[in-house]
Amino acid sequence: MSCSNHKCPFFKFQDDGDQVAEAELPCMLSYSLRPVAFQKGEILFSQGQSSSSLFSLTKGAVKICSHSPDGQERIVGMSSPGSLLVGLQSINDPRHAYTAIAVTPVLACKINHRTLLEYAQKKGKVAMRLVQAAGAQLAHSRAIMEVLVHKCAAAKVASFILLMTSKVEQRNGGFVMPFSRGEMAGILGLSEETVCRLMANMKRSGAIYAPRGKMEILDWNQLQAISEGAAGHSAT
């Protein structure tokens, strides 16, 4: 049995510079992994829920939220297919510190904590990929923090758009933005009206094309300049 989740941190291990066969992935993780699917709005796990598994996304996007005692939701992170593992922060904790919610239809591999750690103890390749996934998680968290500390609202919005995509994804002419304008506002600490106005400005300037629910970056250099707060691009 081979795995089609090519973006999973545990896909295709390296051995002295050579890739092993796809079929080795199930052999290395075996019963710790099973494919799962979630519809938009479904919960992968809830804050306070017993923690026993993490998820490697094959398709879709997930928002990571915390909830205050009065029930208010605050988005504290996001994940999409790649090196990030949803629920990694709870691998050594008995309960999840956050709630993970699918913001698009999601396909994922569900990986049992205990079995993954057992593999990591026995197989150096698994342990190294787990360390790399933890490093990617920290780098992603730092990137989010850098977006949030921007003083300029326009820089926050541009930085968030850049964080959500890559030039590789642009080869097909655009991508679906998994977050609504309101959710972007909540993440960035702005009003929804401000986010809508700033994105409209970016559309008029030719930096982006953003029909409802979708996004295409037309001018990477201009959007990068806005994200850095360059002169002439810092209007709020």
Question: What is the per-residue pLDDT across 72-115, written as a single tens digit (0 to 9) for each?
Answer: 777 777 787 766 788 888 888 889 989 999 988 898 888 888 88
The 3-class secondary structure across 21-41, one letter per residue, is CCCHHHHHHHHHEEEEEECCC
- The reply to whether 2 falls in a domain is no
The answer on 178 and 100 residing in a single domain is no
- Give the number of domains in the chain: 2
Q: Any idea which residue has 């923090």 for tokens?
A: 145
- The reply to whether 45 falls in a domain is yes
Question: What is the per-residue pLDDT across 157-216, written as a single tens digit (0 to 9) for each?
Answer: 998 888 877 554 555 556 777 778 888 888 888 899 999 999 999 999 999 988 776 788
Give the model's confidence band at 136: pLDDT under 50 very low, under 70 low, under 90 confident, else very high.
confident
Among 184, 200, 101, CA closest to 147: 184
Query: From the CB of residue 187, how many other CB atoms can be counted at a distance below 10 Å?
Result: 21
The answer on 57 and 26 residing in a single domain is yes
- The reply to whether 8 falls in a domain is no
- The reply to whether 144 falls in a domain is no
Question: What is the per-residue pLDDT across 219-235, written as a single tens digit (0 to 9) for each?
Answer: 888 998 998 886 455 54
Query: From the CB of residue 224, how many other CB atoms can be counted at a distance below 10 Å?
Result: 16
The answer on 198 and 107 residing in a single domain is no
CATH number at residue 112: 2.60.120.10
The answer on 61 and 37 residing in a single domain is yes
CATH number at residue 184: 1.10.10.10
The residue segments making up the domain with residue 155 are 150-227
Residue 38 near residue 102 (C-beta atoms within 8 A)? yes
Q: Which pLDDT score, from 0 to 100, does residue 235 have?
A: 47
Q: Which pLDDT score, from 0 to 100, does residue 6 have?
A: 61
3-class DSSP state for residue 134?
helix
For residues 33 and 36, give the distance between their C-alpha atoms in angstroms, rounded to a whole number.
10
Q: Which pLDDT score, from 0 to 100, does residue 11 have?
A: 65
The answer on 130 and 20 residing in a single domain is yes
For residues 128 and 216, give the distance between their C-alpha atoms in angstroms, rounded to a whole number.
35
CA 93, 103, 108, 160 dihedral sign is negative
More confident residue, 230 or 156: 156
For residues 231 and 39, give the distance between their C-alpha atoms in angstroms, rounded to a whole number.
43
**Does position 52 have pLDDT exceeding 80, yes or no?**
yes
